[in-house]
Amino acid sequence: MKKSLLFAFALSIALFSCGGKTEEIHEENSMEHASGDASAASTSAVASSAATSAIIDSYLAVKDALVGDNAQEAASKSQALVASLKSFDISSTEAEDLEELERLQVEAIAFAEKLASEDIASQRESFQALSVTLKDFLKIAGTDRTLYHQYCPMYKGNTGGMWLSANEDIKNPLFGSSMLTCGRVEETIALK
């Protein structure tokens, strides 16, 4: 188990540092400025779980700081995110795939720790990678609220990037004020 955790951690570091894609391009060179209308988005039903509340709350606090172009606040808020991820007790969940959940937890912690940098471009890159991992984590562990997987096709040289939000309105943390409403809702993650 420890070897697989070490391997997963090393692999996530290698992929992140090499600039590997964390999500496929959904549309080439398209830009959509929308209010986040989720009516066309797919829906995934996940288990209800209060155990992830602290993780979601601290993740959303970092997102809001990045939306506001505040690198210092994002770095400060990332400490609570790291702590909540580390304190999440996998053995207390009713999730079926505990090994995958553990791998995702380790990967999420690694990305969240990189948010401590006060370089906003680095924070946004780490946040986007964390978002992909956290979405998968929450689909297994469950959530205490409906979340919206939002996607901006213009991020990182038009390779695209995603994040999670508690509401449909687009407030883009990957660009902040320079492209605040660029994006669309790709998926609604709803409670069963």
pTM assigned to the model:
0.80
pLDDT at 6 over 80: no
pLDDT at 23 over 80: no
Task: State the angle between helix axes of 53-67 and 71-87 in degrees (0 to 180), rounded to the nearest 10.
Answer: 170
Residues 102-148 have pLDDT tens digits of 999 999 999 999 999 989 999 999 999 999 999 999 999 999 999 99
Structure token digits, residue 9:
């951690």
pLDDT at 61: 98
Share of the chain above pLDDT 70, in %: 79
pLDDT at 39: 60
